[in-house]
Structure 1
Amino acid sequence: MVSFNFDDWLIGFSTLAILLFGYGLGFYFFYKSRKMKETLLTMLSLSMISVSFAWLPVVLDFFLVIITNSSNTLLVYIYLTWIQLPFTVFFSQYVAAELLLPSKKIYIIYFLELIGILFLISLFLDPINSVNSFGYPLASFYHKISLKINLITGIFGIILIVFVFIFSGIGYLYKSLISKNSIRNNFRFLGLGMIFISLCGFLDNIANGTILVLIRLGAIIGLFLTYRGLKPKIRKKQVSFEENMKILSYFLRKPKSADILGEIEYYQKLLKRPITLFMSFYPDDLKLYKISELIQKLKDFPEINKKIYLTHEMDGDIFEFTQNAIDKFDIMLLFCSKEALSSAEVKSQWISAFENDKIIIPICIKLDFIPESLRKNEKLIYDLYDFNKNILNLRYLILKSIFLK
C-alpha cells in the first residue's frame, strides 16, 4: 500500500501539471509551425517540449510507485532528467541568436554545442556521482534529481542555464526597449518567460521540499509568458490565427531597408481588403507635406482604398467625426507641425482616434511636433527633399501597422 504524505501528493500533482502544460504548449506550437513552415517557431516549440522532459522522471516515478509500490533505478531517471538540458538550451538559444545577434549566430551555436557535448560526456562518464537525488528512499518517490554544482557536470549545466538567463532573458528585455511599439510586448514576454524558466530551473536544482511546488508553478508561468510572446495580436480577424503567427514570426526579425519592396509585396498577399485612410492635418501644411500629391500617389496602390477621408470633410464637428467617420477608416495619418499641435480640430480628431484604439501614424519633420501620447507609435520622419522615399516608407508603415499594432 502506498504511504504518500501530503507533500508527496502535492509535489507529484504539481509536477504533472507543468509536464502536461509544457507538452501541450510545445506540441501545439510545433503543429502550427510545421503547418506554416516557420523554422523559428519550430525550434522554440521543440525547446518547450524538451524542457518539459526535466520533470518527466518525477511524474513517472510518482505513478510507478502508486501502481507497483516500488521505484525504478536511479540511473534511468538521471538520464531522463538531464539529457534534455543541452538540447533545450540549443533550441531556445538558436531562436534568440537569430532574433538578437544574427551576425554572431554561428559562434553562439558553436559555443553551446561545445558546452552541451562536454556536459553530456561528463554526465555519461559518472552519472551517479554527478547528481543528488531527493525524495526516495527518504520519501516514497523521487521528488527531483539535481546536479552537484561543485562538480564538472554541474558546472557545465549551470553555464548553460546562466547563458539562457543572460542572453535570451536579459537580451529579449533589452530588445523590447529598443523595438518598435508593434512588437515591443512580444519581446518583453519572451524575455520574462526565459528568465522565469531559467531561474526556476536553477532554483529547482538547489531547493527541496514543498517549496518545489512554488518553483514549478513559476516554470509554468515562464512557459505561459513565452506563449504570450509568440501569440499574435489579431486585428479584427482580418487574417487567420495561423497567418498572424506567420506574420509575427516575420516581424520579430529586424527588417532591412533594402528589403522594403519585398516586404510590401509580402503584406499585400496577406491583405484581405483595401486599407481605408483618414488624413488629419492643419490646412497650412498642405504644401509643406505635398498632401495633394501624396493622396494621388497612395490611390494608385492596390492596397489603399480609393476613398481617403480628409480633415476638412468633418467641418470641425468632433461629434460628427466620432459618430460617422471613426468606424470608416483603418489608419489615421496625422501630419504633425507646430500649428497642427495647437489646432483644436486636429487635436480633437487624433484624440478621438486614440481613444477608439485606431492605428495612428504620425508624419513629421521634427519629433518634437508629435503629441506626447503618440511618440511611441510607428512614425514617418518626412524627408523634404525625397518625395519618393516618403511614399515608399509610408506604404511600408501602413501595411505593417495594419497587421500588428
Structure 2
Amino acid sequence: MLSYINWLTGVFTCGIVLFGLAWGFLFLYKSYRTQTRLLFYMGFDIIFAGLIFLTLALDFLTVLIFGTNLESSNGILSIFTWMWVPPTTIMAMFVAFKLLQPNEKKLQIVVISSFIILGVIFEIIIFSNPLSVFNGLYPLPGEGFYDDQLKLESPATLIISLLMIIVLIYCGFGYLYKSFKSEGIIRKKYLFLSLVVIFYVVGGIVDGLTTRGVELLFVRFGIMISFWFWYWSLKEETEKPKEFKAKKDFKVKDHIFIISKMNPEEITEAQVTFYRNQKICLICKGKVRGFNFMCSKCDALYCQKCAQALEELENACWVCNEPINPNKPTTIKKIHIEKEHANKVKK
C-alpha cells in the first residue's frame, strides 16, 4: 500500500505531465494563431519537459490501479524517461539564444551543434546498454515507485549533467540577468523564465542523482510549480498606460500607408520604455504576443511581422538605427508600403 508521501509524490508527478502537455499544446496553438515562431519552439520544449516524467506517472497509476509496478527489468522505463532530456535541453538553449543573444549566430551554431552531438551520444549509450547507466531498483510490490536514478560512474551521467548545468547557468541566470535589465511586464516575464529553469533543472539533477525519500516529494512539487512559472512567463498580459497614451505613427494617404523614419530625438526614451513595458509594437502599436524582436542596442520592441517588414524596407531600428539584421546593409529613408502589405503587418 502506498504511503502518504508516495501518494503525494505520484500526484505531483502526474501534475508535471498534465501541465507539460496542457501548456505545451496551448502555446503551440497560440504560436499558430499569432505566427510567433519562438512560441512554437517553446511549446515543444514544454511538452518534452513534461514527457520526461510520463513513465514515472504511468508507474504510479499502475501501482494505484493494479497494485504492482510496471515491468522494467531491461531498463525500458528509464530509457523512456531519460530519452527526452537531450531534446529538452537543446530546445531550451535554442530559445535562450534567440532571446538573449539573437545576433550571435556562430556561437549559437557551435553550442547547439555540441548539444546535439552530446545528446546523440547519450541516447546511444542508454539505448545500447541501459543497465550500465541506471540503477533500476524496485520497491516492495505496490509500495513505491521504480527507481530510475543514474549511476554516477556512467559516462552518460557525466554528459547529461554537463548539459543540464550549462542550461542552468546560461538560461537560468541569463534570463535572471535579462530581467534585471528590463522593466515592467518584460522584467516579470524573464524572471518567470529564470525560475522555470532554476526550479526544473535543480529539481531534475536532485531527482536523477539522489536517493529516494521525503525529499523526492518536495523535488517533484518544485518541478510541477516550474510549469506554472512557464505558463505565467508566456501568457498574454495587458498593462494600463501610466505615463501617456500611445500614439499612432502610421499615416493613411490615398490608400497608401507611409512609414516615415523618425528622428531619434522624436522618440523619447520614455516612449521606448512605455511601449516595451506595455508589450506594444513601436511601429504598428499593436499588441505584441509572445516573444518577438527587441533591438539589441536600445531595447525597442517590435512585433515579429513589423520587424521583418522593417528589415526588408530599411533594416534599421526606428530609435537608434541599429541594424535589424546585422548581415544586411541599412537604408535610412522614407519607406512607402502598399496598404495590403501594411494590413498584414498590423494583424
Q: What is residue 231 of structure 1 aligned with on the other side?
A: 235
For the 8 Å contact 2:56–2:145, the answer to whether it is kept is yes
Unaligned 5+ segments in structure 2 are: 247-277, 280-284, 310-318, 321-331, 333-347
- Judged with a 3 Å threshold, the aligned counterparts in structure 2 of structure 1 residues 189 and 7 are, in CA distance, closer, same or farther, namely closer
2:291 to 249, 262, 267: 249
Cα distance in 2, alignment partners of residues 262 and 43 from structure 1: 19
Q: What is residue 157 of structure 1 aligned with on the other side?
A: 160
For the 8 Å contact 1:231–1:245, the answer to whether it is kept is no
The TM-score normalised by the length of structure 1 is: 0.58
Cα distance in 2, alignment partners of residues 164 and 261 from structure 1: 26
Q: What is residue 28 of structure 2 aligned with on the other side?
A: 30
2:50 to 45, 52, 66: 52
Q: What is residue 20 of structure 1 aligned with on the other side?
A: 18
2:182 maps to 1:179: yes
Q: What is residue 401 of structure 1 aligned with on the other side?
A: none
What amino acid maps onto 1:87 in structure 2? Answer: P
CA drift at 1:66: 3.3
Instruction: Trace 1:3-402 onto structure 2 (pairs within 5 A).
Output: 3-74=1-72, 75-102=75-102, 103=104, 104-137=107-140, 140-181=143-184, 183-205=186-208, 206-235=210-239, 246-250=288-292, 253-255=293-295, 266=306
What amino acid maps onto 1:40 in structure 2? Answer: L
Larger Rg: 1
CA drift at 1:63: 1.9
Residues 10-36 of structure 1: CA distance to partner in whole angstroms, max 9, x if unpaired?
222221122212222112112111222
- Judged with a 3 Å threshold, the aligned counterparts in structure 2 of structure 1 residues 136 and 260 are, in CA distance, closer, same or farther, namely closer
CA drift at 1:129: 2.0
What amino acid maps onto 1:233 in structure 2? Answer: E
Range with greater deviation from structure 2 (219-228 or 108-117): 219-228
Q: Which SS does the other structure have where 1:95 is aligned? A: helix
For the 8 Å contact 1:186–1:228, the answer to whether it is kept is yes
For the 8 Å contact 1:38–1:246, the answer to whether it is kept is no
- Judged with a 3 Å threshold, the aligned counterparts in structure 2 of structure 1 residues 259 and 48 are, in CA distance, closer, same or farther, namely closer
What amino acid maps onto 1:249 in structure 2? Answer: F
- Judged with a 3 Å threshold, the aligned counterparts in structure 2 of structure 1 residues 258 and 211 are, in CA distance, closer, same or farther, namely closer
Unaligned 5+ segments in structure 1 are: 270-379, 382-388, 390-405
Cα distance in 1, alignment partners of residues 92 and 162 from structure 2: 15
Cα distance in 2, alignment partners of residues 53 and 228 from structure 1: 20
Cα distance in 2, alignment partners of residues 232 and 48 from structure 1: 17
For the 8 Å contact 2:294–2:300, the answer to whether it is kept is no
Cα distance in 2, alignment partners of residues 233 and 261 from structure 1: 15
Cα distance in 1, alignment partners of residues 139 and 286 from structure 2: 47
Q: Which SS does the other structure have where 1:133 is aligned? A: coil
Cα distance in 1, alignment partners of residues 65 and 286 from structure 2: 45
Q: Which SS does the other structure have where 2:152 is aligned? A: coil
- Judged with a 3 Å threshold, the aligned counterparts in structure 2 of structure 1 residues 246 and 135 are, in CA distance, closer, same or farther, namely farther
For the 8 Å contact 2:138–2:146, the answer to whether it is kept is yes
The structure that is helix-richer by fraction is 1
- Judged with a 3 Å threshold, the aligned counterparts in structure 2 of structure 1 residues 182 and 23 are, in CA distance, closer, same or farther, namely closer
Q: What is residue 313 of structure 2 aligned with on the other side?
A: none
CA drift at 1:148: 1.5
CA RMSD of aligned residues (A): 3.5
For the 8 Å contact 1:123–1:153, the answer to whether it is kept is yes
- Judged with a 3 Å threshold, the aligned counterparts in structure 2 of structure 1 residues 13 and 122 are, in CA distance, closer, same or farther, namely same
Range with greater deviation from structure 2 (52-61 or 142-151): 142-151
Cα distance in 1, alignment partners of residues 21 and 304 from structure 2: 37
Residues 292-330 of structure 1: CA distance to partner in whole angstroms, max 9, x if unpaired?
xxxxxxxxxxxxxxxxxxxxxxxxxxxxxxxxxxxxxxx
Cα distance in 2, alignment partners of residues 111 and 130 from structure 1: 21
- Judged with a 3 Å threshold, the aligned counterparts in structure 2 of structure 1 residues 164 and 138 are, in CA distance, closer, same or farther, namely farther
Q: Which SS does the other structure have where 1:16 is aligned? A: helix
Q: Which SS does the other structure have where 2:52 is aligned? A: helix
- Judged with a 3 Å threshold, the aligned counterparts in structure 2 of structure 1 residues 219 and 260 are, in CA distance, closer, same or farther, namely closer
- More relative contact order, 1 or 2 (CA 8 Å, 6+ apart): 2
Residues 221-278 of structure 1: CA distance to partner in whole angstroms, max 9, x if unpaired?
22222222223321469999xx98853411xx432679989879939x9xxxxxxxxx
CA drift at 1:133: 3.3
What amino acid maps onto 1:208 in structure 2? Answer: R
Cα distance in 2, alignment partners of residues 173 and 124 from structure 1: 36
What amino acid maps onto 1:192 in structure 2? Answer: L
